[in-house]
Structure formats: C-alpha cells, structure tokens
Amino acid sequence: MSKTLIIAEKPSVAQDIVRALTPVAGKFDKHDDHFENEHYVVSSAVGHLVEIAAPEEFDVKRGKWSFAHLPVIPPHFDLNPIDKNKGRLNALVKLIRRKDVTALINACDAGREGELIFRLIEQYAQPAKGPLNKPIQRLWLQSMTPAAIREGFEKLRSDEQMLPLADAARCRSEADWLVGINGTRAMTAFNSRDGGFFLTTVGRVQTPTLSIVVEREEKIRKHVARDYWELRANFDAQAGQYEGKWFDPAWKKNDDAERRADRLWNQAEADEIAKAVLGKPANVTEESKPSTTSCGALYDLTTLQREANSRFGFSAKTTLSIAQALYEKHKVLTYPRTDSRFLPEDYLAVAKQTAEMIAGEDLPGPLQALAAHARVALNQGYIKPTKKVFDNSKVSDHFAIIPTLQAPKALTEVEAKLYDLVVKRFLAVFFPPAEFLVTTRISKVEAAGKSHHFQTNGKVLVKPGWLAVYGKDVDDEDANLVPVQPGEVVRTESVDVKALQTKPPARYTEATLLSAMEGAGKLIDDDELREAMAEKGLGTPATRAATIEGLISEKYMLREGRELIPTAKAFQLMTLLRGLEVEDLTRPELTGDWESKLAAMEKGKLKREQFMAEIAAMTEKMVAKAKGYDRDTIPGDYATLKTPCPKCGGVVKENYRRFTCTGKSGEGSDACGFSIGKIPGGRSFELAEVEQFLSAKKIGPLEGFRSKAGWPFTAELALVFDAEIDNWKLEFDFGEDAKKAENDGEPVDFSGQQSLGACPKCQGHVYEHGANYVCEHAVGEKLTCDFKTGKVILTQPIEPAQVHKLLTEGKTDLLENFVSNKTRRKFKAFLAYDGKEGKVVFEFEPRPGKPAGKVAGKTAGKAAAKAAPAKKVARKSAAKA
C-alpha cells in the first residue's frame, strides 16, 4: 500500500502532527526515527541537516585565504551533510527512498527557512541514477493546535505554488554564502598581509547592521556638548500655584537640530529674563482641546521583540525563543516568525472565539485580570470588521501574532509575561480610542518693554478606551491643572534658571536597532511609515535576532545593560570597507533592496537567475577592490592616545594597522621608532586597553586571540624592553611568570581582596590571582592545597560571581560560550566541583525526555573524566599559539 511521508522541522512538531491526525487517520506505531500507520509515515529534521558548499574544485581550504584563490563563484552548489545531524539525515533519506512512499509533504516551519530545510533534504536524497519523481505538497501552519493542524491538511498547497518561495530560499542561502565567503576571505587576507590571522567576517545582512551601530557611535564620539539654559517660573493663582516654562513664540526650526524654542544659549540673557519677570504680574490665556490616541496594530515578530526589550529587557533572541515555545510547545500563540500585523478578513469569527476563550477560561495568575476586558469587548460589540485589524492586502504567508483558542495551563514567569503582552494587544486593538483633554496655558509677563512667554501643559484622561486593558483609568481631580479664572492676573512668584548641556544621540538598544533594521537603516517611530518600509528591511523578522547575536559573538558589538556598543574591531572593519570603496557591504538601503527582491521572487515577480547574477557581480567587484588596493594604509578617522610613548614620551597616534610614536612634536620628525600592532594575535585593541597597556606595561588575561592557524586562545600581553632593537616591544605572556610567582615561595597578600568562597578541598579562602582563581593555601610559602581554576576556560570568561556560585552552591549558571578544542564548536555547560576527582568539571544539561537526575549524573561523571584534560589542552594550545 502506498504511503505519504510527512517531514516536519523538529521532532516535537512531528509528534503534534501524529496526535492531530490519529483521530482521522488511525493509530500510529512509533519507530526509532518515525511514526507510521496505514496512510502516513511521519518523521522530522532537527533544523538544518545539510548545508550548501562549493564543488570541491572551487573550494578554498583554511590556510589558503589569499587573494590568489578569490573570488569563488561556483556554477552550482553541492550539498554537504552537517556532521552532528548525519544520523537523522540518513534516516530521512532512507524513508524518502522507500518504494512504498509515493508522495512527500513538507511540514517544516511555514516560511522561507522551513522551505529551504525541506528542499535541501529532498535534493540530497535524490539518487545518482535519476530523480525520484515523488509529488510534493506543502503543509502551511499558522497555529499548532490539533484543529489547526487538521485544517492545514485539508488545505495542502501544491508544489507549483511553493516553487517561487523555494527559489527565494535558495537565493538567500547562496547569496549569503557568496558574499560571506568571498567578503570574509578577502578582508581576512587583506588584514593578515603583515602576518598572523585576523579573522574579519562580513555578511550580507550583518555588516550593514553593524554599519548602523558604528555610525551612531561615531556621532556620539564626535558630539561636542553645548551649554544652554532653561527658565521655569512658578505662578501664584487664586486656586494655587502652577509652573510654566519659558519659550520663544517666534522661534522656527532650522538646520541646527539642537536648537529648541525653550532653549537660551546665553546665560546673561537667561539671568536677565529671570530678573525682569520675578514678582511681575502675568496675563493668562488658555486653550483646551479634546485629543484621542488609538492602540497600535497587532504584533509582528519585530514589534513584539522591540516591546519585550523595552519593557522587560529581553534580547531579540530570547523573545523569539519564548514566542516559539508558546507556539510550538504550549500552542497558545500563532506562528511567531511573521512580518504581518493584520488578520485575514475571514478571521472575525475566530477573533470572537479567542476573546470568548480569554473571558471564560480560568487563566493562571495575573492573566486572570484579562478576562474582564475580554468580556467588555464581547458585550460592547467591539470586535467587528475594521481595516486596522482585518485586511487581506496586508497578509502574506502569515498573519499577526495573536492568542490561539487553547488556554495556557503551565507557563513560566517569562512565558506568562510575553503571553500577557500579546493578549493585551489583541484585546486593546478592538477597544475604542482613549480620549484626553489637552490644555495649553500661556502666561505672558510684560517687563522692561518686552513680552516673555511661559507655557504650561496639562493632559487629562477623560475616557480610557483601549488604555483600560493596560490598567489606566480616568485621571483623578488632582491630575488637573490649577484652575485660573477668566481675566485673572497671576503673579510670578519664583524663577529658576537651569544650566544644561546638549546630549549626544542615544546608543542603540536591541529595541531601537530592530526598528532600524526593519526600516533599512531609517529609525522610524511612525507605524505606517515603518510598515511601508517593511519589505525593504535588513533581514527578516525571523533572522534579525540571530544577526544581532552573531555580531556580539564575533566581538563586533558588546552588550552593556540594554545598550549595544561597537568594538574597535567594528570601527576597523568600517574604516577598511570605506577605504576600499566597498560601500555595497555597508549600505543598509542596498541590502534592504535585496530583501525586497527576494520578497518579489516569493511572489513570482523576479527570476532567480537575475538576482544571483547581481550578487555575483557585486562579489567580483568587492574582491577586486580589496585585491587591487596598493597603498600602505587606509584613510580613516584615527585616535591620538593620551598615554605618552614609553621610550621617548612622545605622542602616540593610531593608523590603520599600528599605534606609532610620532615624536614630541606629534608630526613624526622626531619619532623614536616605537610602534605596536593594533591587532596582536588577531584581536583588536580597544582604545582604553591600549592606553592601559602602554601605561602599566601589561594587560590581561584577554580572550579572543587567534593563532596563525585560526584557533582561539587566551593570554596576557606584556610590553618589554628589547636591548637589541633599543626599544619596547609587545610579547604574549601565557602565564609562565604567573606560575613562577605562584610557586616561588614568596608570600601573597590577599588582604585587599574579598574572598569568593570556601575552598572545596581545604575550606581555605579562594581569591583571584594572576590568570586563575586559587585557594590561599595553594600559593605562597607553605603549599598545603592545590585548588585552582582558570579565569578563562575554553575561551569562556569565568566571572567572579560564577566562581562564588560554584563554591557556595556547587555549580555555576549554564555558561554558553565554551569552544571545543577538537571541533571548534561552541557548547553550553555548567562548571561543577567533583569531590571524587578533586577538580572543576563540566556538567551538561540533561537531554529532553530523559530523567534529569540520572542523565545529569551520568554526564557529569563523563565530564569529570574529560574536563581536566580539556583545560590542559586549552593551556597547551595557548602556549603553542
């Protein structure tokens, strides 16, 4: 009997499909890697199982990243299995090739990436002797409830319908490969011409995104604070006192963005006005106007990520993972990776049913308060057809994120926060506008033949409308302005002159950067304008979080609180790309245009061949520019260091490659020859680091260095005097001096430090010392203990707070940035102390579906045997490098 193979993107989705189909298609039997009944075989990928690669004759091996091998523009792409998922891939290939499997259904996530995952698996499974010719259909799910899955099977899409999306998916993948491989290798080859290996990654989306952040930081650095003054006066009326702010009614906007109607740029003038109006009467005019505000549109992924970042400090990646869990695991939200903020016009009945679920279900915890608002919406007939919510022209493959008909049962605190956010917006969008009474009061003081105006604003909430869903009520009486009777003259009781300074633009947060990416570099607050730019954004809602995380992991940006700060490496990349005149890689508008073209391809309006030809031409131009650049340095905006030259006390200046002494004159005529590279070991110096290094003659340990073969390592840097060259030079210090210091018998004074906790071996105190955290009895004169653990383990910095947790609770938090010496892949682990081994070991998360205690114990046992050698390898690699 012939069967249809259904391939989902993840095992959990395959299980959901089986549960949904069982009532209508019969019971499924469970096998090792699939489910099966009389009609269907259901299996899944685990995300991407294969990756595109250049044919072998076009491949560029590591260590040959030179211009001689570039550009790489292969005529076609081969497919390579991803090592860690080979078993799953082989199982799927076997199922696809089964003779009784006569048709395939793509049930991967409903989007471009899900389409690519399936298409590449199906392509890889084709036998060499000829195509399988098995018909393909598409399951397109917006919700993971059983009813929604069954409805999806009733409306399967044809292969012909999906081919434009498949073309766009392949183009996105191949374009990223071409630009990423050629750009990264060209820029790395350029930066490594003087020796070493300075990995310089670039990308079709990541580099323009970084450009946005760097340009903002450049404005911040170049900003010169200007003094200005504001005047605030208190006026006495019969009913009480109120405050007014001085302004110039004749002021008009001009090219100076820092000028405002309420700013004075001369202290003498501000003092003169304050003196003139003090104690004088003021005539009052007042105008009150009704005003309304409406609720914003429903959430797409980007607006949800922005709001969650602003309200809760969630990163874009965190918000996406929580939303995905609410969709996939709990089935309480619709598909989250959407760029639409509207619902289909035939969704009115579903919207009412959703409100009825919220009104009728006993939701957990704080979500209970939403039931009352849902009942109001239903009783008042608020949920009705409106273009603000229901608009087919604004819905593409996915609609806005809304609650499903399934009530949540057991959400974590962060899941409940995000669910609450979505439910509130879903209800509020149907409520009427909020109504305010906005009052503008002008108090005019005549003094010394001049009129001086002071403005007071009041805003009173008259009808909460949609704001009621967010807990707002009609303002109390004390929220009103102190009333002034018609014709009443008030008195200027006091005047305060405030000295202020202009501020630079704010750094990007993830919320504001997501907005900038959505608008292709234009930071747009207006929802309608942003929506008009949505098809020309940087990346897609589904990929923007990963782009930001990628820039952070490549050390192009740092997170400090909610701010994103570009590093020296980021500035160096932008200087290089501008100097080489490769602006294509830095311009958000161009990459936004590519996203627009991919969207057009999805709709069948652009041919795949045309798009790829444009990408290939841009790639060739980029490599040619880097290859043909023959000057010694790259023009740029370089710094002059505050710390003097260690040899002659002259001025040290930055250029593209080095920090160089330019002599006491700063012109180079009397330079002493001192210079150090800006990127020792493939790691860029931050300006603050190089200042500290020249001043203290040492710094570290620092992580992020790379050997000539490209392997990461950690080391300290020392500035040492070399008699042969009669100058100072930079050297790596891999801890030998520190080791000697630990064992030289000299007492160590820890009196200035706070203990991080009790040593797990001897109960002594543990402190920071050199490149390690050590027991006080493991260093100094009498060595009675040997407990120590590194400040950096497999490139993962270990903060003192984590060591404290290790010593007091037995293990650290889950740390995410360890890098295996064997595979070079990142991995997550806890650090735990193993009493039997007497060492700090790795402990891994239990695998899903396994008893936590048993697996954790087993894994920790294995880690106990492996962790110490892993750390030895890390030190050994650093010493070799």
**Separation of alpha carbons 263 and 230, rounded Å:** 6
C-alpha distance from residue 144 to each of 19, 41, 575 (Å):
11, 19, 47
What is the full DSSP assignment across 39-78?
A: SEEEEE--S--EEEE--GGG---TT--SGGG-----SS-E
Rounded-to-integer distance, Cα 107 and Cα 688, Å: 52
The encoded tokens of residue 427 equal 């209800």
* Residue closest to 844 by CA, chosen among 815, 878, 821: 815
Show contacts of 819-825: CB within 8 Å, 24+ apart.
819/712, 819/794, 819/795, 820/794, 821/711, 821/794, 821/870, 821/873, 821/874, 821/877, 824/711
Amino acid identity, position 61: K
**DSSP class per residue in 122-166:** HHHHS-TTS-----EEE---S--SHHHHHHHHHTPEEHHHHHHHH
DSSP letter (8 states) at residue 481: P
C-alpha distance from residue 69 to each of 60, 64, 395, 629 (Å): 7, 7, 45, 17
Cα(226)–Cα(580) distance, integer angstroms: 35
Q: Taking each helix axis from N to C terminus, what angle separates 316-328 and 301-312, rounded to the nearest 10 degrees?
A: 120
CA angle, corner 312, sides to 309 and 314, nearest 5?
50
Q: Within 10 A of 590 (CB to CB), how many other CB atoms are there? A: 17
How many whole angstroms separate alpha carbon 322 and alpha carbon 413? 11
SS (H, E, C) 491-552: EEEEEEEEEEECCCCCCCEHHHHHHHHHCCCCCCCCHHHHHHCHHHCCCCCCCHHHHHHHHH
Instruction: Tell me which residue has tokens 């095992």.
Output: 11
* CA distances, 101 to each of 5, 19, 87, 134, 136 (Å): 6, 21, 20, 8, 12
Pull the structure tokens for residue 49: 């199982």
**What is the C-alpha to C-alpha distance for residues 778 and 788, in angstroms, rounded to an integer?**
8
Give the pairing type, strands 796-797 and 792-793. antiparallel
Is-cis flag, bond preceding 848, omega within 30?
no
Q: Which two tokens stand for residue 43?
A: 């299996």
Q: Catalytic residues, which ones? A: 335
Residue in 122, 140, 103 with CA at minimum distance from that of residue 3: 103
Sign of CA dihedral 603, 604, 608, 612: negative
- Cα–Cα distances (Å) from 383 to 34, 346, 366, 400, 429, in that order, read 43, 13, 23, 16, 9
What is the CB neighbour count within 10 angstroms for residue 193?
11
Which has the closest alpha carbon to 124: 175, 52, 177?
A: 52
Tell whether omega for the bond before 433 is within 30 degrees of 0, i.e. cis: no
Torsion angles phi and psi, residue 521, rounded to 5: 95, -10
Q: Please state, in angstroms and rounded to a whole number, the distance separating the CA atoms of residues 375 and 357.
A: 10
Give the separation between CA 790 and CA 771, rounded to whole angstroms: 6
Asked if residues 60 and 181 have their Cβ atoms less than 8 Å apart, the reply is: yes
Residue 602 · residue 168 · CB < 8 Å? yes
Distance CA 468, CA 170 (A): 47
